[in-house]
Amino acid sequence: MKKILISDKLSEAGINYLNEQSGIQVHIETGLKEEGLCNIIGDYDALLIRSDTQVTPKVLQAAKKLKLIGRAGIGVDNVDIPMATELGIIVMNTPDANATTTAELAIAHMMSLSRHLPTADRSVRAGKWERSKLMGSEIAHKTLAILGFGTIGRIVAQRGLGLKMKVIAYDPFVAPEIFQDLGVESVGLDELVSRADYLTLHCPLIEKTRNIIGKPQFDIMKKGAMLINCARGGLINEEALYDALKSGKIAGAALDVYDNEPPAGSPLLELDNIVFTPHLGASTAEAQVAVSVEIARQAVTFLKTGEAINALNLPRQSAEEIKKSFEYVNLATILGKVLAGLATQPIEKLEVALFGRAAEVDVRPVSVGALVGILSGQFSTPVNRVNAENIAKRQGISLIESKTEEPQDYISLIKLTGHGGQHSISLSGVLLGGRHPRLVCINHFDIEVVPEGTLVVTQHNDKPGVISAISAVLGNANINITRMQVGTADDQQQAMAVISVSEPLSDALLQQLCGVPAVQKATQIVL
């Protein structure tokens, strides 16, 4: 008999589903603090939570039988995932169960902005009848611009198309076929912002997306444009938003999320051309039922079959399996990170090939390790061996695997080839001494690199003085070069340098490197 503890409020539908399952025993006790949870958690195989329960290291240490923590919803800030992973406890969430609800709120905000509904409501309540003052605009045939084209962004797109809108979207990590299948035009960020009548945000908050909408973006937006954020606070520079609204640079905005929640004292509260809601993205009866039923189903599936749907960390593996493939998986992950850093187009297809002794291990864990490297840092939730394949499928990345025990230049070698648009990038890596990763080839450039720290990769004409000029730029900026490898291509007047530097370079310094005569490209990769 598997025992499940529910420590936060779930819908009756989810609880009823659990009670109907054979071999499952359910206990509900909400409002537990750390000590109370520690006192009882040792008896349970699974813990189902929302956002109130704090799963701390102390709780996890007391959870001697626990195999699963299931979050009914998306956010898992209240769970110590690294500690759970170390203890072999799966953590899973329900990332898509409330997608429709959040998408519909964005559409509702768009409608509200278009017809001035909050202002109209206040006006009538005040005894006024200001029809001419509250002239609105139709949304049909307007341009709906979507920043972030994951599950929620795609639902918003479908709703917008149904409303006869022109829909464009920006997401550098989604393959072109995904946009094409939905009838949505894929554009760059600047074009997205400048063409938008309504700009709605549906991307995760990661380092690359923090303040992704700021003064430069507001400067190129249409004067009548409107901005909607039902994703995450921090995507918009709120100071720049205030200036854009105050000056009339944009016509209006609607926010469901904020830098600080609640946004007490924010100057945005003083403005009339902005609408606020208190983080209601998932707050519908349907969504509450959906996340509860979905986490109940996922928990039962895991406890009965071991399948970890929407898991956020690594499942347990046998010591033998880990030992056999660990170094190859690590090498593939590193190569994946380098591949993602060098790619100029979204990767649509990944080929993973094992040669020589590397072919003695199962290719799938190695392939998944490569996907982890490619996808890491692009999402708000961790990408790992459990969820990497599903995320790759959602992003439109296909996987081709092969292996042969015939060696290729090295006794043991892994080769990754990423295809995107008209471009392909091929990387080869080996394990020196069976455990030291080395990058040995980038496309047709043979080059042996220690893949760690910060790497600067340049492609340039093979002529005297280029390397010294690059070194001078870095030296003048007080950037220390720890290693440098240079490779040339057969029958070509091209060379590639991979430079290990002491600290990451600024965008301006990268541009300065590109300004060195004969340098065509400079790319930075942080491993």
Catalytic residues: 232, 261, 279
Token pair in block for residue 310? 């929407």
Q: Do 110 and 165 contact (CB within 8 A), yes or no? A: no
- Tally: H helices and E strands in the chain: 17, 22
Strands, sheet with 423-432, edge to edge from the N-terminal-most edge strand: 398-404, 349-356, 412-420, 423-432, 436-442, 445-449
Half-sphere exposure of 3 (CA within 13 A, CB side): 13
Distances (CA, A) of 211 to 165, 235, 422, 429: 27, 5, 31, 36
The DSSP line for 63-107 is: -SS--EEEESSS--TTB-HHHHHHTT-EEE--TTTTHHHHHHHHH
Contact call for residues 462 and 520 (beta carbons, < 8 A): no
**Residue 18, token pair as written in the block:** 């659990």
Q: Report whether the peptide linkage leading into residue 464 is cis, meaning its omega lies within 30 degrees of zero.
A: no
Written as six digits, the tokens of 53 are: 């329960």
- CB neighbours of 433 closer than 8 A, spacing ≥ 6? none
The CA distance from 49 to 165, in Å, is: 39
DSSP symbol at 42: G
Q: Check if the beta carbon of residue 209 is closer than 8 Å to that of residue 235.
A: yes
Closest CA to 410 of 374, 445, 444, 446: 446
Q: How many Cβ atoms sit within 10 Å of the Cβ of residue 160?
A: 27
How far apart are alpha carbons 165 and 158 in whole angstroms? 10
The CA-based diameter of the chain, rounded to the nearest angstrom, is 85
* 168 phi and psi angles, rounded to 5 deg: -125, 160
Asked if residue 420 lies in contact with residue 369, where contact means CB atoms within 8 angstroms, the answer is no
H helix runs in 167-221, sequence order = 176-182, 189-195, 215-220
Q: Cα separation of 337 and 349, whole Å?
A: 15
Distance CA 489, CA 401 (A): 27
